Amino acid sequence: MEKRIFTVNGKNDLERCYPVMKELRPQLTFEDYLSIYEQSHSADGYEIVAIENENRIRAVMGYRFLSDFVRGKHVYIDDLVSTESARSQGLGAELLKFAEELARTNGCKSLRLCTGLENEGGMKFYDRNGWKKRSFAYVKKIT
């Protein structure tokens, strides 16, 4: 079977993508994954795009369209991960190109994502793919 990129549609696709997403988010239970997907999908159009090869999901990207005063309309990438066995095969770059075309065809001014400061490999990957560091993201937990 030839490699294909597709938008996740339905529970079967979500089930097939879960092991890949879990590599990025190891704390994520399957029940929470389904619940968060459903909430995010209905609240702000969160979508998951997957790359399948040889009947196996090899990489996934979760994204949504956002608008704000700083960036205007843009694509925000929440999640981007390839399976460990499929890393360094260009799948992440392929998903980023997919996101660029998605942004272009939907009138977006830019793409945006955040990664953890400890994710040095991820930062090098984004640098290699033409992304620029523009800000620090702050977080405060509510207890």
Give the residue-averaged pLDDT of 9-34: 96
Q: Which fold has domain 4-128?
A: Aminopeptidase (3.40.630)
Residue 43 to residue 60: CA distance in whole angstroms: 20
2 compared with 63, residue with greater pLDDT: 63
Burial 74-103 (b: 16+ CB within 10 A, else e): bbbbbbbbbbeebbebebbebbbebbbebb
Domain spans, the chain: 4-128
What pLDDT score does 38 carry?
A: 96
Element (H, E) at 98: helix 91-105
Beta bridge partners of residue 61, listed in sequence order: 49, 80
What's the pLDDT tens digit per position in 64-120?
A: 999 999 999 999 999 999 988 878 888 999 999 999 999 999 999 999 988 888 888
Which of the four pLDDT bands, split at 50, 70 and 90, describes residue 1?
low
What's the pLDDT tens digit per position in 27-48?
A: 999 999 999 999 999 999 999 9
Per-residue pLDDT for 131 more than 90?
A: no
pTM beyond 0.75, yes or no: yes
What pLDDT score does 133 carry?
A: 87
DSSP state of 106: T
